[in-house]
Amino acid sequence: MRHASFENGFDNFFQHRLAKRAYQFASQHAHTGSRADFWPQLFSAEKADPFRIYSPRLETVWPNISHPFSDRRDWFTDKTIIKMMETIPVMKEEDITANYMRNIQTLNAAVKAVQ
C-alpha cells in the first residue's frame, strides 16, 4: 500500500502515476466503502468469513440519506481552481503497508477480545 506525503511542487498531480493508478482502480471497481474493495485477501464484506477481517459495506451500516439541496446547478463553473492546485506540493510515495497491517491486526485483536 502506498501513502503519499507532501514534498516540493505539485507538478501535474493528474499525470502522476499514483493518481493514474487510483483513477484506473476507481474506474474498474464498484466502491462499496468496504476495505474488501481494495484488499480482498485481508478483508471481507461478509461478517461470517472466519479467515478475513470484517469490513462492512457502507449500505450495511449506514442508511441512505436524501439531502434536500436547494440549488441543483453544477457547482463547478470556474477552472481557476486547476491553476491553484498546481501550487500544491508534490506527494512523495512511501510504503506504509507494514504499519497499516500491524495497526489493523491490533484493532482486530482488540475487537475479538471484547466479543
- Tens-digit pLDDT profile for residues 6-36: 444 445 555 577 778 888 888 998 889 999 9
Average pLDDT, integer, range 29-56: 92
Cell numbers given for 57: 459495506
Q: What pLDDT shows up at residue 89?
A: 79
The whole-number pLDDT of residue 15 equals: 59
pTM for this structure? 0.56
CB atoms inside a 10 Å sphere around CB 51: 7
Per-residue model confidence (pLDDT) at position 37: 94
| Nearest in space to 53 (alpha carbons), one of 63, 37, 40 | 40
List pLDDT tens digits, range 59-112.
999 998 887 777 777 777 788 877 887 787 777 778 888 898 899 889 988 988
Q: How far is CA 3 from the centre of its chain?
A: 11
Q: Where are the domains of the chain?
A: 2-63+78-114
